[in-house]
Chain A
Amino acid sequence: DSGVTQTPKHLITATGQRVTLRCSPRSGDLSVYWYQQSLDQGLQFLIQYYNGEERAKGNILERFSAQQFPDLHSELNLSSLELGDSALYFCASSVAYQGRLSEQYFGPGTRLTVT
Chain B
Amino acid sequence: LAKTTQPISMDSYEGQEVNITCSHNNIATNDYITWYQQFPSQGPRFIIQGYKTKVTNEVASLFIPADRKSSTLSLPRVSLSDTAVYYCLVGDSSNDYKLSFGAGTTVTVRA
In the complex, what residue of chain B is closest to A91 when comparing beta carbons? B43
Partner of B45, one of A2, A48, A109: A2
Q: Please state if A48 and B46 are interface contacts (CB–CB under 8 Å).
A: no
1/0 per residue, CB under 8 A from B, across A93-106: the answer is: 01011111111111
Chain B nearest CB: distance from A56 CB in Å?
Answer: 4
Q: Please state if B93 and A42 are interface contacts (CB–CB under 8 Å).
A: no
* A78 contacts partner chain B, Cβ-Cβ < 8 Å: no
Cα(A92)–Cα(B68), bound, Å: 28
Q: Please state if B30 and A2 are interface contacts (CB–CB under 8 Å).
A: no
Q: Please state if B46 and A88 are interface contacts (CB–CB under 8 Å).
A: no
Please indicate which of the listed interface residues A55, A88, A104 has the most CB atoms of chain B within 10 Å of its own CB. Answer: A104
Cα(A54)–Cα(B91), bound, Å: 20
Q: Please state if B46 and A42 are interface contacts (CB–CB under 8 Å).
A: no
Chain B nearest CB: distance from A66 CB in Å?
Answer: 13
1/0 per residue, CB under 8 A from B, across A48-71: the answer is: 100000011010000000000000
List B87-104 residues whose CB lies under 8 Å from chain A. 87, 89, 91-93, 96-104
Chain A nearest CB: distance from B9 CB in Å?
Answer: 14
In the complex, what residue of chain A is closest to B101 when comparing beta carbons? A43
Q: Which residues of B contact A107 (CB under 8 A)?
A: 43
Q: Which residues of B contact A111 (CB under 8 A)?
A: 41
In the complex, what residue of chain A is closest to B100 when comparing beta carbons? A45
Q: Please state if A48 and B93 are interface contacts (CB–CB under 8 Å).
A: no
Q: Which residues of B contact A100 (CB under 8 A)?
A: 32, 49, 51, 92-93
Q: Which residues of A contact B91 (CB under 8 A)?
A: 101
Partner of A58, one of B34, B49, B92, B97: B97
List B30-66 residues whose CB lies under 8 Å from chain A. 30, 32, 34, 36, 38, 41-46, 49, 51
Residues in A lying within 8 Å of B, measured CB to CB:
2, 4, 33, 35, 42-43, 45, 48, 55-56, 58, 88, 90, 92, 94, 96-109, 111
